[in-house]
Amino acid sequence: MPLLPKSSYRPPFWLPNGHLQTIYPSFFRQFLPVVYQRERILTQDGDFLDLDWSYATAAKQGVKNELVILSHGLEGSSQSQYMIGMVQYLNQAGYDCLAWNFRSCSGEMNLSLRFYHSGATEDLQEVIQWALGKGYTHIHLMGFSLGGNLTLKYLGEQGAALPAEICKTVVYSVPLDLKACSLAMRNGVNKVYMHRFLKSLKPKIVQKSLQFPDQIDLNRFADVKTLYDFDDIYTAALHGFDHADHYYETCSSVNFINNITIPTLIVNAFNDPIVPFKSLPVDEIANLKFVYLENPKDGGHCGFRPFQLKNNVYWSEERALSFLNTDFSLL
């Protein structure tokens, strides 16, 4: 079923390509700050996760007590522009929001040898269980880029065992095929994104080596020239994978989406410079009951600045709210 044939997204004429549509929000979108309430929870392996809560600022018609759990992208955080924009818009629409930070992404290095990766669904599981303990009866999941892959993988792993309180999912700019996306960042202008990620990731390895001097090998640090190298030398080793290809194959959400059991919207732009359109499992999704794929012609990677900007609301935020408010029992 659900390949959505047409998208309503239109970019501004002065953002004519995927690169500009990707870069503009990161550098030029401005907000009033979200006043998060931070809560630190302990993980089962003795580490911690920092959860940032932001509560509804308006009453919501219909179901009360609804929560959206948001997962950010590679080297992002609850302070990423796409997270803040979504949280503010959903709060105004009556939804509580929980923007959680992956290990090492909250402004403080985590305690364990490992940190985070694209398939670390055990951490998302702990966040969800914590939220369920707060008494929420309707929970929606949302993810951006790496966080989208993590979210889809979690849904597929859970399958029919997914907690009944989890209702819908919206994810953006998802690297469903991790290897294809990693390799795409080695090409041409995409190297700009790759080097920006490495500029943030490599110092974390140095910091980890100070925490665990006998377990982090810096002898190959100079060999890290690409994101693939980083994953092959460090991500894989720190998280129990044999090598980068093993990590990518094990954690790519393309291998899990056929087991998703709740309404799920995947939004990936045709011109996303980080996620090649040819890497998306379009034919497979066409035969899935619960997964909807929307491919706007434009939008870039986690961009989606609208043609006409009103109240600083991006198209992606309006699209997410529309999907969350859809009553699928009537379809």
Instruction: Count Cα neighbours of 63 within 13 Å in the Cβ-side half-sphere.
Output: 16
DSSP 233: I
In DSSP terms, which residues pair with 42 in a beta bridge? 48
d(CA 102, CA 117): 9
Dihedral pair phi/psi, residue 115, rounded to 5°: -125, -100
d(CA 175, CA 181): 6
Can you tell me whether residue 235 is helix, strand or coil?
helix
Cβ pair 325, 90 in contact under 8 A: no
- Could you tell me the CA-to-CA distances from 214 to 64, 211, 220, 303 in Å, in that order? 51, 9, 15, 41
Torsion of CA 4, 16, 80, 96, to 10 degrees: -40
Catalytic residue, chosen from 54, 104, 118, 145, is: 145
Q: Is the dihedral of CA 275, 281, 285, 286 positive or negative?
A: positive
Catalytic residue, chosen from 47, 52, 301, 316, is: 301
d(CA 194, CA 201): 10
Catalytic residue, chosen from 50, 96, 177, 272, is: 272
Q: Is there a catalytic annotation at residue 96?
A: no
Q: Is there a catalytic annotation at residue 173?
A: no
Q: In what order do the strands lie in the sheet with 166-172?
A: 3-4, 291-294, 264-267, 166-172, 138-144, 66-71, 96-101, 48-54, 37-42
Q: Is there a catalytic annotation at residue 123?
A: no
State the catalytic residues: 145, 272, 301
